[in-house]
A and B are shown apart, each in its own frame.
Chain A
Amino acid sequence: MDLKREQLPSDFRIRQLKARDMLRGDLEGEDLERFVEERVVTTTLEKAVAWARGNSFFPLTFGLACCAIEMMSIVASRVDIARFGFEAFRASPRQADLIILSGRVSIKMAPVIRRIYDQMLDPKWAISMGACCSSMGVFNNYSLVPADKFMPVDVHVPGCPPRPEALAHGVLRLRSKVQGNAPAGWRERYEAEGTEELLPEGDLRSPDISVLQPGDTAGA
Chain B
Amino acid sequence: MSSLTEDYRKREESISYSAESAGESETHELMTLNIGPHHPATHGVLRLIATLEGEVVRDVKPLVGYVHTGIEKTAEDKSYWKVIPVVERMDYLAYYFNAMAFCGAVETLLDIEVPPRAQYLRVIHLELNRIMSHLVWLGTSALDLGAISMFWYCFRERETVLDLFEMSSGQRMHTRYIQVGGVFEDIPSGFEHKLRQFIELMPRRADQYADLLEKNQIAVERLRGTGVVDQETMLGLSVTGPLLRATGNPWDLRKAAPYSSYDHFDFKIPVGTVGDNYDRFRVRHAELYESVKIIEQALDGLPEGPFITPDRKVSLPPRHELATSMEALIHHFKLVTEGFRVPPGEAYYPIEGPRGELGCFVRADGSAKPARVHMRDPSFTNLQALAPMVRDGYIADLIATLAMLDPILGGIDR
Contact = CB atoms under 8 A, between A and B. Distances in A.
**Direct A–B touching in the complex (beta carbon < 8 Å)?**
yes
B92 A65 contact: yes
Contacts of B45: 64, 109, 112
A128 to B, nearest CB: 15
B69 A139 contact: yes
Interface in B63-79: 65-71, 73-74, 77
A141 B76 CA distance: 11
Contact of B89 (A66, A72, A142): A66
A104 B38 contact: no
Interface string B157-182: 01100000000000011100000000
B151 interface: yes
B155 interface: yes
A161 B40 CA distance: 21
Contacts of B123: none
Given A76-B156, A139-B74, A65 B409 contact: yes
A106 interface: yes
Contacts of A48: none
A interface SS class:
loop
Contacts of B65: 106, 108
Interface string A124-146: 00000000100000111111100
B269 interface: no
A91 B156 contact: no
Contacts of B172: 70, 161, 163
A70 B409 CA distance: 16
A168 interface: no
B152 A139 contact: no
Interface residues of B, number: 37
Nearest to B93: A69
B310 interface: no
A195 B318 CA distance: 41
Contacts of A72: 136, 140, 151, 155
A138 B4 CA distance: 30
- Indicate the member of A66, A91, A107, A160 with the most B CB atoms within 10 Å: A66
Contacts of B71: 139
Nearest to B172: A163
Given A76-B155, A76-B156, A112-B38, A66 B173 contact: yes
Nearest to A104: B69
A143 B173 contact: no
B38 A143 contact: no
A77 B96 CA distance: 25
B173 A142 contact: no
A175 B245 CA distance: 48
A139 B70 contact: yes
A104 B67 CA distance: 7
Contact of A112 (B40, B66, B93): B66
A55 interface: no
Contacts of A77: 152, 155-156, 159
Given A69-B93, A73-B155, A109 B70 contact: no
A57 interface: no
B44 interface: yes
A69 B67 contact: no
Contact of A111 (B4, B86, B92, B410): B4
Contacts of B413: 106
A61 interface: yes
A160 to B, nearest CB: 7
Contact of A61 (B40, B67, B174): B40
A94 to B, nearest CB: 12
Interface string B45-66: 1000000000000000000011
Interface in B1-40: 4, 8, 37-40
The residue among B44, B136, B151, B173 with the most chain A CB atoms within 10 A of its own CB is B173
Contacts of A143: 68-70
B384 to A, nearest CB: 20
Interface string A57-93: 0000111111011101101111000000000000101
Contacts of B38: 62, 93, 112, 116
What are the 4 A-B residue pairs with the smallest beta carbon separation, nearest first?
A: A76-B155, A66-B92, A143-B70, A141-B70
Interface of A: 61-66, 68-70, 72-73, 75-78, 91, 93, 103-104, 106-109, 111-112, 116, 132, 138-144, 160-161, 163, 219
21 contacts: A61-B40, A65-B69, A65-B409, A65-B410, A66-B92, A66-B173, A69-B93, A76-B155, A76-B159, A77-B152, A91-B39, A109-B37, A138-B74, A138-B86, A139-B71, A139-B74, A140-B74, A142-B73, A143-B69, A160-B174, A163-B172
Given A72-B155, A73-B155, 7 more contacts: A61-B40, A68-B44, A76-B152, A77-B155, A91-B39, A112-B66, A141-B74
